[in-house]
Amino acid sequence: MMKRFFKKHGWRYIPGFLFLLISSYITTLAPIALGHAIDYMDMDVALIDQSKVYRQAFYIILIAIGVFITRYIWRYFIIGNSRFLENFLREELFVKLENLPVSFLSKQRSGDLMAYAVNDVGAVRMTFGQVIAMSVSGLSTAVMAIYSMVTKVDPKLTLLALLPVPVAVFVIVKLGGIVRRKFRYVQSLFSELSGEVNETIMGVQVIKSFAKEEERLDEFSDISKTMYDANVNLADTSSLIWPSISVIFGLCYAIGLIVGGHMVLAGKLSLGALVTFNGSLLLVQQPVMSLGRIINMLQRGLASYKRLQVILNQPGIPEKEMEDAQEPVGGDIDIKDLTFRYPETENNALDHISLHLPKGATLGVVGPTGSGKTTLMHLLLKMYPVPERSVYIGGTDITEIPAKAVREQAGFVPQDGFLFSASVRDNIKFYQPGATDEDMVRAAKLASVHDDIASFPDGYDTQVGERGTHLSGGQKQRIALARALIRNPQLLILDDTLSAVDNHTEQQILTRLSDYYDGKTTVIVSHRLSAVKHAQEIIFIKDGQIAERGTHDQLMAQNGLYAQMYLQQEEGGDCDEKK
């Protein structure tokens, strides 16, 4: 998945690393310049050469400016590139999600999908930015600092003083691992705690009604106490890392001072060289300190990379399904002995379904929850792979028509009335390119929602969705209906669309639709039989099979499941008075 990224943005790493190495090199020059300055002053006053001292002071400023510039450049290229990568990955992920078949999406929990976008993209970015930069710059600075200690100061002193460093590396890797494990435990406790808070607050009425406040609080307090223990335990380990590293490097400095000091006294080393040595040792210490963070980020990054790869490698909707139609799609719909089973399930969701739906006719689909009604609607839209030779539109096998073309002629209205966080206008017009405001109002009137919208203070500009106005279930469903109607679809699919709309309005909408949509095919799925009463054909689906079919009158005469359901609904009318 990264190939395309590296092809386009990979070049940035070249100047990035180049400037990074230069930057590391310049950094190691600073202690040397300071050492020289000290040396030039460490002599009899009469012998001090003013220009030499001033030149070193000037070098020190120059070095700082050099570091400033080179560091700025490499960070822009390397860390900046990780931002480009983040941008790239997020878009890849979005494109992928948009083109994943509904069959895949419905298996995933939305929280998991969100975690890809939020956590994993971020972790991979850190790996390709901070981790690479920190490790390369740390390593090169440390190596060059050691090199200048060996060449400019003294090899034996360097070796002696650096002897404890491997212990520091060992400690940080070892302790780092334990700290990470404990930290993960703390995090899992934290999410448990947040979960408990959520649950308690969401369910506070239940808790109160059973008078179990104290018991709930005890449970919460226990988790909170566990959290306390885990945090203290974590601190007890993590508090060891920094002090032990500083003790180990303290030993390095002490060795340098004692051995180096004696060498200066013996005349084998200049005072300035000792100063250079101390300064360079600090440049070795810093990368070792950051080792723990590097390992941590790297591990998270790799795990996230694997997870992202799995999702990005999912087969999407095939290209050919996304092509435009060769010729207009439409006509009679024929379903011939359609049997369908969801992947990885055992029972047929639809079992030997056959029906003929002439162009312009209305089909009513009823039956218990989970009987296969929505599945049938999804197949008419090619949301799932349809078996060959079972569904025909205008005589053509639906498998031979691109999914895009099938959907282009259809208007689908789901039960939940899902709307995007946008204005009402956008929610309706977005779905028909080139639609005018008149089209929008016409569709809204047809869906009997125009008056509702007009009564909002902002009219069609009212924001809906999470941060917007709260709409009733019925209003959402009717706006979703308008969104489908503005497309002027050849095939209108209402998947229990009017469940939250009262009887009266439902009848009003259905009557308008049948007048206006003469010659267009309509499929109505409903739990409320009043919605399908007037359809040319009604099918009663049970356990994936058509149990009964016919017109309302025929079905009533049969006195079967349909008739039973109808009578039940008759007597159980709503007792909330509707206005």
Site for another protein in 20-49 (CB under 8 A): 30, 34, 37-38, 41-42, 45, 48
Q: Is residue 525 within 8 Å of residue 511, measured between CB atoms?
A: no
How far is residue 458's CA from residue 564's CA, in Å, rounded to a whole number?
Answer: 46
Q: Which of residues 479-508 bind another protein (CB under 8 A)?
A: 483, 487, 499-500, 503
For 454, half-sphere exposure in the C-beta direction (CA atoms, 13 angstrom radius) is: 9
Q: Does 163 bind another protein (CB under 8 A)?
A: no
Burial class (CB in 10 A: 0-12, 13-18, 19+), 196: middle
Buried b (16+ CB within 10 A) or exposed e, 515-532: eebeebbbbbbbbbbebb
Quote the least distance from Cβ 407 to another protein, whole Å: 5
Stretch of 8-16, 206-214, 301-309, 442-450 contacting another protein, by CB under 8 A = 206-214
Shorter beta-carbon distance to another protein: residue 21 or 240 = 240
The whole-angstrom separation of Cα 532 and Cα 548 is 14
Rounded CA gap, 199 and 480, in Å? 32
* Smallest distance, another protein to C-beta of residue 564, A: 8
Does the protein bind another protein through residue 231 (CB under 8 A)? yes
Residue of 5, 147, 220, 384 that binds another protein (CB under 8 A): 220
Contact pick of 21, 143, 271, 325 for another protein (by CB under 8 A): 271
Shortest distance, position 80 Cβ to another protein, whole Å: 6
Site for another protein (CB under 8 A): which residue of 6, 14, 105, 174? 105
Classify the C-alpha dihedral 476-438-380-405 as positive or negative: negative
Provide, rounded to whole angstroms, the least separation between the CB of residue 98 and another protein. 4
* Tokens encoding 84: 């480009």
The reply to whether 310 sits near another protein by the rule CB under 8 A is: no
Contact in structure between 41 and 48 (CB atoms under 8 Å) = yes
Q: Judged by CB, which is closer to another protein: 227, or 312? A: 227
The single residue among 6, 10, 14, 95 that binds another protein, judged by CB under 8 A, is 95
Residue number with CB closer to another protein (244 or 339): 244
C-beta separation of 282 from 246 below 8 A: no
The residue count for binding another protein (CB under 8 A) is: 141
In angstroms, the CA 396 to CA 325 distance is 12
Contact flag: residue 468 with another protein (CB under 8 A) = no
Mask 521-560, x = binds another protein (CB under 8 A)?
------xx-x------------------------------
Query: Residues 5, 183, 342, 431: which binds another protein (CB under 8 A)?
Result: 431
Least Å distance between CB 392 and another protein? Answer: 20
**Under rule CB under 8 A, residue 264 binds another protein:** yes
Residues 355-414 that bind another protein (CB under 8 A): 368-369, 381, 383, 404, 407-408, 410, 412, 414
Q: How far is the CB of 64 from another protein (least distance, A)?
A: 3
Query: Which residue of 156, 187, 219, 436 would you call a contact of another protein, by CB under 8 A?
Result: 219
Distance, in Å, from the CA atom of 482 to the CA atom of 478, rounded to the nearest integer, reads 6
Here's the x/- map for another protein, 277-296, by CB under 8 A: it reads as -x------------------
Asked whether position 253 contacts another protein by CB under 8 A, the answer is yes
Closest CA to 16 of 62, 94, 112, 84: 84
Q: Is 9 in the site for another protein (CB under 8 A)?
A: no
User: Is 238 one of the binding residues for another protein (CB under 8 A)?
Assistant: yes
**Based on CB atoms, which residue is closest to another protein, 271 or 336?**
271
Cα 209–chain centre separation: 38
Q: Smallest distance from the beta carbon of 531 to another protein, in angstroms?
A: 12
Please say whether the beta carbons of 542 and 368 come within 8 A.
yes
Span near another protein by CB under 8 A; candidates 52-60, 174-182, 344-352, 444-452: 52-60
Which residue's entry shows tokens 């945090």?
231
- Work out whether 212 is an interface residue with another protein (CB under 8 A): yes
Residue located via tokens 């509707």:
578
Instruction: Return d(Cα 531, Cα 523) in angstroms, integer.
Output: 11
- Min dist. Cβ of residue 412 to another protein (A): 4
Q: Measure CA of the first residue to CA of the last residue in the chain; give whole Å.
A: 58
Q: In this chain, which stretch among 256-264, 283-291, 392-400, 453-461 interacts with another protein, using CB under 8 A?
A: 256-264
Nearer to another protein, 23 or 148 (CB): 23
Give which of 313, 359, 309 is closest to 333, Cα–Cα: 359
- Work out how close the CB of 397 gets to another protein at its nearest, in angstroms, rounded to a whole number: 20
Q: Which is nearer to another protein, 212 or 389 (CB)?
A: 212
- Contact residue for another protein among 2, 12, 87, 305 (CB under 8 A): 87
Q: Which stretch binds another protein (CB under 8 A): 247-255, 286-294, 353-361, 545-553?
A: 247-255
Cα 425 to its chain centre, rounded Å, is 27
Residue 457 DSSP label: T
Full DSSP string of 61-106: HHHHHHHHHHHHHHHHHHHHHHHHHHHHHHHHHHHHHHHS-HHHHT
User: For tokens 């808070």, what's the residue?
Assistant: 197
Task: Tell the burial category of 438 from Cβ atoms under 10 Å away from its Cβ (0-12, 13-18, 19+).
Answer: exposed
Measured between alpha carbons, how far is 487 from 194 in angstroms, rounded to an integer? Answer: 45
Cα-Cα-Cα-Cα torsion 326, 331, 337, 342, nearest 10 degrees, comes to 60
Nearest residue (CB) to another protein, 56 versus 522: 56
Between residues 94 and 170, which has the closer beta carbon with respect to another protein?
Answer: 94
Structure tokens at 101: 């078949």
Quick one: tokens of 47?
Answer: 């012998």
Contact pattern for another protein over residues 505 through 524, marking x by CB under 8 A: --------------------
